Amino acid sequence: MARVIFRWTVLTVMGVFFLLPLVAMVEFSTRDPRTWPLLVDWPRLSAEYPALAEGILASLAQAALTSVLMLVLLVPTAVWVRLRLPGLRRLVEFLCLLPLTIPAIVLVVGLAPVYAWVNYLIGGSSLTLVFAYTILVLPYAYRAIDTGLSAIDVKTLAEAARSLGAGWTTVIWRVVLPNIRSAVLSAAFLTVALVLGEFTIASLLHRTNLQVAIEYLGKSSATVSVAVSLAALLLAFVLLLVLSLAGSSKKGKTS
């Protein structure tokens, strides 16, 4: 009985701790009844808050491009390491996990001179953040993809496909990728969630994205800023929910 009480006490305290700020956000953002309808009315939103609209579009484009770049880099690398360079697996894992241990502010200090060249060579578009974000998402994406590859016998499948006449591109595209689909989805969703919530690097490198736009907006229109933050949070929740559903449906299929 005492354990049940303890369990419910902990759950209640945790629930209040997490939910209270969200409830406060809902309460605050609904004080003005025009706020939420504005968020689903894109023409009006972009007319009234052009910086916010620009930030949303930039973040969506960054999320999509980062996902693509991450997959193009990571999937062939992870497959190749498993097939041909198993001795390097630890090193690659270590390198991919490094960004987790480096604070964003330190990363920016290192990236600033690189971005000076990026500015010079391809301009200062907010999309150039994709390069930094690809590094930032490596720890999460690598883990997801590596777990997916562990679930299948990559070596035998690749060798079977090779003996049937498949080149390496075909092996990865038609044999490996379809069998690590849920791992790829996980990596992509984590990337999207991370990019949509990124503020430090964008702000310090003077680029725009959703979080930078929200921060600016907070100074002039606090209600809209909080409503957009809440909407972004909900989107991330939905993505993570889809991710866990994709994971559990895969488990059901293989059992």
Site residues (vs other proteins, CB under 8 A) = 152-153, 156-157, 159-167, 170, 175, 178-179, 253-254
Query: Smaller CB distance to other proteins: residue 161 or 239?
Result: 161
Question: 93: which residues sit within 8 A by CB, 6+ positions away?
Answer: 142, 146
Q: Where are the alpha helices (DSSP H) in 84-199?
A: 89-101, 104-122, 129-150, 154-163, 168-170, 177-179, 181-196
Residue type, 99: P
Query: Smaller CB distance to other proteins: residue 88 or 106?
Result: 88
- Using CB atoms within 10 Å of the CB of residue 5, give its burial: 0 to 12 exposed, 13 to 18 middle, 19+ buried: exposed
Exposure of 184 in the CB half-sphere (CA atoms within 13 A): 18
Query: Smaller CB distance to other proteins: residue 207 or 250?
Result: 250
Q: How far apart are CA 223 and CA 35, in angstroms?
A: 7
Query: Smaller CB distance to other proteins: residue 82 or 207?
Result: 82
Exposure of 81 in the CB half-sphere (CA atoms within 13 A): 19
Question: 233: which residues sit within 8 A by CB, 6+ positions away?
Answer: 22
Contact 216, 51 (CB under 8 A): yes
- Torsion sign, CA atoms 243, 248, 253, 255: positive
What is the nearest approach in angstroms of other proteins to the Cβ of residue 230? 39
Contact 129, 201 (CB under 8 A): yes
What is the nearest approach in angstroms of other proteins to the Cβ of residue 254? 7
Where do we find the tokens 């969703």?
189
What is the nearest approach in angstroms of other proteins to the Cβ of residue 155? 9
What is the nearest approach in angstroms of other proteins to the Cβ of residue 207? 39
Query: Smaller CB distance to other proteins: residue 164 or 241?
Result: 164
Query: Smaller CB distance to other proteins: residue 65 or 175?
Result: 175
Query: Smaller CB distance to other proteins: residue 130 or 171?
Result: 171
138: its two tokens:
């490596």
What is the nearest approach in angstroms of other proteins to the Cβ of residue 34? 49
